[in-house]
Amino acid sequence: MEFLQEYNLTGLALGACSFLIIGLFHPLVVKGEYYFGVRCWWAFLLLAIVSGTASLLVDGVFWQTLLGVLAFSSLWSILEVFEQRDRVRKGWFPANPRRVGKNDKNAERQA
């Protein structure tokens, strides 16, 4: 970490790591909804709670910031899982053929 601070690279490193974290969550949301449906939102909530708590407990602004980005990316992913379900219903993403109609009782009510 001293190297990053000595050459004023902390901001660039945080930006790059934030970009990677946010970029990682898009396929996680898509795959999570595909295999588990919207039930996977609990995993994102658990990750948000753990990383948010860890952000409060670790020393160093770099790690606190990264854990905070992870926590809020996880919270945002909860919303995205439900929006991904709607994207699948619209046909923008493929539905899992093993789950089609199985957990979509609410979809029938809404249609």
Rounded Cα distance, 110 and 56, in Å: 41
Quote the domain boundaries for residue 78. 2-92
**What's the pTM value of the predicted model, to 2 decimals?**
0.81
Instruction: With respect to residue 78, please indicate whether it lies within any of the assigned structural domains.
Output: yes
| 46, 57, 63, 71 from 52: Cα distances, Å | 10, 9, 11, 5
| Spatial contact of 47 and 28, defined as CB atoms under 8 Å apart | no
Residue pointed to by tokens 């946010």: 22
How many domains does the chain fold into?
1
Instruction: With respect to residue 107, please indicate whether it lies within any of the assigned structural domains.
Output: no
Instruction: With respect to residue 105, please indicate whether it lies within any of the assigned structural domains.
Output: no
Instruction: With respect to residue 109, please indicate whether it lies within any of the assigned structural domains.
Output: no
Instruction: With respect to residue 57, please indicate whether it lies within any of the assigned structural domains.
Output: yes
Instruction: With respect to residue 19, please indicate whether it lies within any of the assigned structural domains.
Output: yes
Query: Which helix H or strand E contains 70, and what residues bound it?
Result: helix 61-89
Q: What is the pLDDT along the chain (111 residues), one digit of tens a residue?
A: 677 777 788 899 999 999 999 999 999 999 999 999 999 999 999 999 999 999 999 999 999 999 999 999 999 999 999 999 999 999 999 998 987 665 554 444 444
